[in-house]
């Protein structure tokens, strides 16, 4: 990273452990672990978490309505709208505007779900829930954090004034394998803990042009600075959860995979190719396998770094 180029910061902030860097360059992973305000400020600005993006249709009734850096997804049904993730606390009005730009009404949101209860994905839930009256469904282990605005988060709860977000009441408690149904859409919630205790991978089937596509939103494998995989005092067994989640995600076989951070799945490239290729531009099973393998490797590398082991476990 010369002066915070995007790819370097992505690796530093959100996935892989970074090698030592000069003090005059980017802050090290250890420095970010000690300064959450610096961490979230750099991530938000450099990765454009709070900058509006053009909404786009992905396949059938599935649309991207997020910001430049954060993935937010809309599914339309005969009985109303489903919203997956909501971005940062400031993002609610931008998401509502994107939904309107597509010709739909955010007031018609009936169901809200999210990958996990962190400010960059659940931050806009309170705004959009109030706007629409939609019902919020969430994995049981993340409910306390959702309802107290992040105070119960195993890692960031102690720095709530920096890392918190507007609280929202959860209307339905989810457990592993539960389904959320609206109209002809069925979403399945898979428990993939690690990044948070209640982290959730969502799966569904979307039909476009008479063809069915398996869609997966994988989540749970990101190791943030300071997570202390070798022994987090507030999350005993965190490393075991990460490994179980990796094994589970490796078994999934999506046609289309979408994530909470847009730079991780080449959204701009897919968006451009979709202008001529249509839904085929979003079909990327090989990319999914590479992504999960990279996430697992990043976890093992960070675990070994903490333990002082040379190299990374393959």
For residue 22, count other CB atoms closer than 10 A to its CB: 8
Pairing of strands 256-257, 211-217: parallel
For residue 133, count other CB atoms closer than 10 A to its CB: 10
For residue 279, count other CB atoms closer than 10 A to its CB: 19
Return the bridge partners of 254, or none. Answer: none
Cα(171)–Cα(147) distance, rounded to whole angstroms? 11
The confidence score (pLDDT) of residue 171 equals 99
SS (H, E, C) 236-301: CCHHHHHHHHHHHHHHCCCCEECCCEHHHHCHHHHHHHHHHHHHHHHECHHHHHHHHHHHHHHHHH
| Nearest Cα to Cα of residue 87 among 37, 125, 56, 46 | 125
Report yes or no: 200 and 187 within 8 Å, Cβ to Cβ.
no
Q: Which 8-state DSSP code applies to residue 142? A: G
Q: Which two tokens stand for residue 252?
A: 């999934």
Cα(192)–Cα(201) distance, rounded to whole angstroms? 6
Domain ranges of the chain: 51-307
The confidence score (pLDDT) of residue 310 equals 52
| Nearest Cα to Cα of residue 213 among 257, 262, 272, 179 | 257
Rama region for 4: left / alpha / beta (φ>0; ψ in -120 to 50; rest): left
> What is the fold of 51-307?
Metallo-beta-lactamase; Chain A (3.60.15)
The confidence score (pLDDT) of residue 25 equals 61
Please give the order of strands across the beta sheet that includes 135-139: 56-59, 62-64, 73-77, 80-84, 109-113, 135-139, 172-174
The confidence score (pLDDT) of residue 239 equals 98
The confidence score (pLDDT) of residue 26 equals 65
Pairing of strands 135-139, 172-174: parallel
3-state DSSP assignment of residue 68: coil
Residue stretches of the chain with pLDDT short of 50: 1-24, 311-314
The confidence score (pLDDT) of residue 31 equals 75
This prediction's pTM: 0.90
Q: Between the CA atoms of 148, 225, 291 and 142, what dihedral angle is there, to the nearest 10 degrees?
A: -20
């Amino acid at each position: 990273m010369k002066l915070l180029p995007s790819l370097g910061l992505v690796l530093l902030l959100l996935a892989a452990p970074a090698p030592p860097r000069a003090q005059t360059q980017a802050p090290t992973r250890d420095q970010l672990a000690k300064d959450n305000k610096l961490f979230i400020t750099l991530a938000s600005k450099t990765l454009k978490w709070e900058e509006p993006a053009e909404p786009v249709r992905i396949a059938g009734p599935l649309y991207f309505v997020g910001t430049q850096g954060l993935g937010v997804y809309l599914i339309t049904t005969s009985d109303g709208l489903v919203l997956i993730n909501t971005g940062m606390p400031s993002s609610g009005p931008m998401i509502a505007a994107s939904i309107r730009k597509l010709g739909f009404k955010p007031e018609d949101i009936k169901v809200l779900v999210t990958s996990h209860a962190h400010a960059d994905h659940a931050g806009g839930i309170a705004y959009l829930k109030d706007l629409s009256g939609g019902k919020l469904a969430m994995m049981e282990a993340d409910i306390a954090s959702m309802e107290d605005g992040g105070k119960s988060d195993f890692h960031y709860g102690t720095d709530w004034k920096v890392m918190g977000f507007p609280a929202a009441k959860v209307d339905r408690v989810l457990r592993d394998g539960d389904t959320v149904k609206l109209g002809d859409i069925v979403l399945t919630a898979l428990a993939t803990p690690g990044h948070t205790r209640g982290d959730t991978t969502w799966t569904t089937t979307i039909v476009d042009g008479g063809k069915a596509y398996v869609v997966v939103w994988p989540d749970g494998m990101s190791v943030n600075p300071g997570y202390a995989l070798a022994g987090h005092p507030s999350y005993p067994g965190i490393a075991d959860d990460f490994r179980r989640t990796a094994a589970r995600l490796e078994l999934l076989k999506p046609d289309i995979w979408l994530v909470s951070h847009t730079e991780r799945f080449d959204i701009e490239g897919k968006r451009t190719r979709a202008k001529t290729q249509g839904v085929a531009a979003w079909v990327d099973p090989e990319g999914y396998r590479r992504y999960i393998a990279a996430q697992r490797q990043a976890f093992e590398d960070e675990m070994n770094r903490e333990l002082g082991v040379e190299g990374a476990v393959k």
